[in-house]
Structure 1
Amino acid sequence: MGIDISKEYFDASILVENNEFSHNQFCNTKKGVKMFLKWIKGEHCPIETTLICMEHTGLYKNILVDVLTSNQCNLWVEMAYRIIRSSGIQRGKNDKVDSARIAQYAKKNQEEVKLFKCSKEVLDKIKGLLNLRELNVSYKTAVQVNIQELKGYNDPVYNLLSKSKKNAAKAVKKTIEDIDKQLEELVKQDSEISQVYNCITSVKGVGSITALFLLCYTDSFTSFDSPRELASYCGVVPFEYTSGKSIRGKAKVHFMANKKLKKLLHLCALSSIRYDPEIKTYYEKKVEEGKHKMLVLNNVRNKLIHRICSCVRNNKRYEVAA
């Protein structure tokens, strides 16, 4: 079965014999999910032996996931980009068609299924606080830009605006500091999360916010099988573009990537080049050899991911080789 979820509704398609589908749409509410379970029974689809696949859609999936996991369903929550890549050329798109494609994906790839496990409650809380932090950081940046624009105006109204903006900036800064303290407390509450967090931040150049985002996006490093797979998800693995003798495109990273993690890793790479002697030496050597700076910087991002994954896998803090 494939399920396509939106904010208000979700579409479900049951793949039956001869590649035919039984489809229905339900409200994305607890009442709607109950109707969905009744519909499954009416379709003579044993919930205990049915594989239910859906895309990872953030908050929109939570109601449905909670009910399905409480009923011990065989639930597979898959990354959207994997389903898209597997679907080939797309002709037409709507929620009904998408749910059918997800069902086909589940049937084709059922040997690679990873049944959903509820993430720790602490990770859900961290996600919520990180989202709140992002909103406050964006607002603070906008306010500070506005303050700079108001400088130089010797006018009572502009002076009042400037004073008000400065007070707002101070208040937002205090809110961000409070959020950071709360995030720190949440990490300490769970020994397993705390251990993984300490492993990540032991890598020079990787800060606390990057570590927390990595924990959330990887579900504490259980969603990816290898460093290369995670690096690909973060958009730092270049892929070859060649065909025969005529097409010789440059290897480049794919546009389908987690932009947030890519941005954070970029900042981590810049920091490690500055403070990690080994990385700094590598960067300077490659640039002197004529390599493009952005290419070398991308290599540094890749190195950081491999270091992080190695530390988490071995449950050890990063140690500089003697």
Structure 2
Amino acid sequence: MIYLGIDVSKQKLDLCLLSGNGKKKSKSLKNQPDVELEINDWLLKQKCPPEQVMAVMEATSIYHENVAYGLTENTPVTVCIANPQRVREFARGLGILTKNDSIDAYVLARYGELKQPDVWVPPSPEVRKLKELVRLRDSLQVDVQRAKNRLEKGQSTRTSPEVIASLYRTQCALEIELERVEKLISDHTDKNDGLKKDLELLESIKGIGNVVGTTMLAVLRGNTFKSAAQLAAWLGVVPIEKISGSSVRGLARMSKTGPADVRAKLYMAAVVAARWNGPVKSLYERLIAKGEPAKVALGAVMRKLVHLCFGVLKTGEPWDENYVATA
């Protein structure tokens, strides 16, 4: 297998090719539509059959999607998408502390060579659309809150009526668009039987509402996870201990290696579940009784909710409070 590291940024792609003969070759390309064809041509010029190439890149916001989908759909190149935090830790393990685009591309190629990450499987068009709508909804929610904050600030001082009116119109326009996008999400899930059933399964869990449900649906169906533990690790809700010998006794903390926006939603779901979800409430109270801080207990609840979300979609059965309580 030949390994190709691709460091992705908004404007360009930095490539590092490890062909297996101890040599590496580098190239920089503009990140644009059809760039996968340029990569394919470059590989052929290097006498590297594309079907023998594994391309490894990081999940960089949305900027990796163009090349990832392009390589998968239009070339025989195998694509792997790695967790940026894991790759950074891998680089430190190699003794590479410097960080720039060309070095990052080399680290990604070495990561593929030594770690053999799972092959990336593109989500279906229905899931891709759901992910895009959820991303837009989340962005609009932030915009609406910002508009509300600006209006509140304006009303707390001697702001001219014209400015207040403009701020108010902006807030109303954003709220209307947010409602429209939320309806688009609802219509999209209702029209697709698979997504509709999956969302109903997720929302059967007490504490998981529509916002968290659609977010977790996009995560679970937009990626390939072999286990609930792998999903929890990807989301960054697993505990990391710091214990060594008899002198080091650090408090366990959440790894926080995945998407922060998803964890923020899971945190609010955990607050609700810790009150109304019987088995989860028992877990929370048991940890509090042992002297654990409330945030640590809520972190455990977040991880439990992630496991429940994975479980209902894997089994295809709605959440059963009594079953969970006796399991």
TM-score normalised per structure 1: 0.89
Alignment partner, residue 138 of structure 2: 134
In the alignment, is the contact (CA less than 8 A) between 2:151 and 2:164 conserved in 1? Answer: yes
Deviation at 1:147, TM superposition (A): 3.2
Please tell me whether residue 26 in structure 1 is matched to residue 32 in structure 2. no
Greater Cα offset, 243-252 or 52-61: 52-61
Alignment partner, residue 298 of structure 2: 297
Alignment partner, residue 196 of structure 2: 194
* 2:205 maps to which of 195, 203, 206: 203
Alignment partner, residue 20 of structure 2: 17
SS at match of 1:265: helix
What is the distance in 2 between the residues matched to 1:227 and 1:23? Answer: 38
Greater Cα offset, 263-272 or 117-126: 117-126
Alignment partner, residue 108 of structure 2: 102
Q: For the structure 1 residues 29 and 164, does the alpha-carbon distance in structure 2 shift closer, same or farther, using more than 3 Å as the test?
A: closer
What is the distance in 2 between the residues matched to 1:284 and 1:39? Answer: 59
Alignment partner, residue 273 of structure 1: 274
Deviation at 1:84, TM superposition (A): 2.2
CA deviation profile, 1:267-307 (whole Å, cap 9, x unmatched): 00111123224433443454345332222212211221121
Q: For the structure 1 residues 158 and 215, does the alpha-carbon distance in structure 2 shift closer, same or farther, using more than 3 Å as the test?
A: same
User: Unpaired runs of 5+ in structure 2?
Assistant: none
Greater Cα offset, 83-92 or 201-210: 83-92
* 2:67 maps to which of 60, 64, 69: 64
* 1:124 maps to which of 125, 128, 131: 128
Please tell me whether residue 147 in structure 1 is matched to residue 151 in structure 2. yes
What is the distance in 2 between the residues matched to 1:190 and 1:83? Answer: 36
Q: For the structure 1 residues 288 and 67, does the alpha-carbon distance in structure 2 shift closer, same or farther, using more than 3 Å as the test?
A: closer
What is the distance in 2 between the residues matched to 1:44 and 1:198? Answer: 51
Q: For the structure 1 residues 60 and 290, does the alpha-carbon distance in structure 2 shift closer, same or farther, using more than 3 Å as the test?
A: closer
What is the distance in 2 between the residues matched to 1:277 and 1:230? Answer: 23
CA deviation profile, 1:82-112 (whole Å, cap 9, x unmatched): 32232324232221111111111111123xx
What is the distance in 2 between the residues matched to 1:257 and 1:164? Answer: 38
Deviation at 1:179, TM superposition (A): 0.8
Deviation at 1:15, TM superposition (A): 0.7
* 1:161 maps to which of 156, 160, 163: 163
Deviation at 1:49, TM superposition (A): 1.7
Alignment partner, residue 53 of structure 1: 56
What is the distance in 1 between the residues matched to 2:184 and 2:247? Answer: 57
Amino acid at match of 2:90: S
Amino acid at match of 1:140: V
What is the distance in 1 between the residues matched to 2:278 and 2:221? Answer: 31
Structure 1 runs (4+) deviating above 6 angstroms are none
In the alignment, is the contact (CA less than 8 A) between 2:237 and 2:256 conserved in 1? Answer: no
SS at match of 1:224: coil
Q: For the structure 1 residues 97 and 290, does the alpha-carbon distance in structure 2 shift closer, same or farther, using more than 3 Å as the test?
A: closer
Supply the RMSD in Å over aligned alpha carbons. Answer: 2.3
In the alignment, is the contact (CA less than 8 A) between 1:236 and 1:302 conserved in 2? Answer: yes
Equivalent pairs: percent with the same residue?
A: 22
User: Unpaired runs of 5+ in structure 1?
Assistant: none
What is the distance in 1 between the residues matched to 2:292 and 2:107? Answer: 43
* 2:78 maps to which of 74, 81, 84: 74
